[in-house]
Structure 1
Amino acid sequence: MIFSREYVGYLARHTVKHLIEAKMIRADKPGAVEERVNNGLLDELSLEDRINEEVRVILDAYQNEMQRTGASYAEMFKKVKIELARKYKAVL
Structure 2
Amino acid sequence: MIFSKDYVGYLARQTVKHLVSAKMIETSKPAILDERVAAAMVDELSLEDRINDEVRVILEAFQDDMRKTGASYPEMFKKVKNELARKYKAVL
Query: TM-score, normalized by length of structure 1?
Result: 0.99
Number of corresponding residues:
92
Partner of 1:60: 60
Equivalent positions of 1:44-83 (< 5 A) are 44-83=44-83
Q: Give the superposition deviation at 1:56.
A: 0.1
Q: What are structure 1's unaligned runs of at least 5 residues? A: none
Q: Give the superposition deviation at 1:52.
A: 0.1
Q: What are structure 2's unaligned runs of at least 5 residues? A: none
Equivalent positions of 1:1-92 (< 5 A) are 1-92=1-92
Q: Which amino acid aligns with 1:81?
A: K
| Deviation digits for residues 24-53 of structure 1 (CA, Å, limit 9, x no counterpart) | 000000011111100000000000000000
Query: TM-score, normalized by length of structure 2?
Result: 0.99
Q: Give the distance between the partners of 2:85 and 2:36, measured in 1 at CA.
A: 24
Q: Over the residues paired in the alignment, what is the CA RMSD in angstroms?
A: 0.3
- What fraction of aligned residue pairs are identical, expressed as a percent? 72
Q: Give the superposition deviation at 1:10.
A: 0.2
